[in-house]
């Protein structure tokens, strides 16, 4: 699964505008292992990131600015661990990942349905908790 002791983690959500970007940015912030690299992508290439999401993420010192990235075969080849940080993506979409001995993890994290700051903050906290747990497991 791991190439030359490096681990490549790909966080995926539906559009790469929120959940996967929060996960990748927060992982980069807390991870100290230089052998672990992370990227994020969306199953569907989407529109630009909502400015309110960017501003609320900044309250957590997380930068999610930039353009959303669509999932590609290059990213799928690059990754060793694929983490689907979404509850709105079919699991069978990633069946081939197991065929190539790559690990797939599903986090059932719902997307925002509004610009409500409280809702956005709750989802960010959930992503942060999952990323923190992952980082602790990888440190062992």
The one-digit pLDDT tens for each residue of the chain (140 residues) are 444 689 999 999 999 999 999 999 999 999 999 999 999 999 998 788 989 999 999 999 999 999 999 999 899 999 999 999 999 999 888 887 776 778 999 999 998 877 789 999 999 999 999 999 999 999 87
pTM for this prediction: 0.92
Residue 45: its pLDDT value, please?
84
Asked whether residue 139 is domain-assigned, the answer is no
Q: CATH number, domain at 25?
A: 3.40.50.2300
Q: How many whole angstroms from its chain centre is CA 105?
A: 11
Asked whether residue 138 is domain-assigned, the answer is no
Query: Which structural domain range is residue 16 located in?
Result: 7-129
Asked whether residue 140 is domain-assigned, the answer is no
Residue 1: its pLDDT value, please?
43
DSSP code string of 30-98: H---TTEEEEEEESS---PPPHHHHHHHHHTT----S---B--HHHHHH-SEEEEE-SSS-GGGGHHHH
Number of domains the chain is built from: 1
């Amino acid at each position: 699964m791991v190439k030359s002791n490096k681990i490549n983690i790909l966080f995926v959500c539906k559009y790469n505008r929120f959940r996967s970007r929060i996960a990748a940015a927060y992982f980069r912030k807390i991870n100290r292992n230089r052998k672990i690299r992370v990227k994020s992508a969306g199953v569907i290439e989407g529109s630009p990131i909502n400015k309110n999401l960017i501003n609320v993420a900044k309250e957590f010192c997380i930068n999610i600015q930039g353009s959303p990235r669509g999932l590609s075969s290059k990213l799928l080849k690059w990754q060793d661990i694929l983490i689907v940080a979404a509850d709105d993506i079919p699991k069978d979409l990633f069946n081939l990942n197991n065929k190539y001995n790559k690990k797939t993890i599903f986090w059932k994290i719902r997307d925002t349905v509004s610009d409500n700051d409280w809702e956005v903050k709750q989802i960010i906290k959930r992503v942060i908790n999952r990323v923190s747990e992952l980082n602790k497991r990888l440190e062992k």
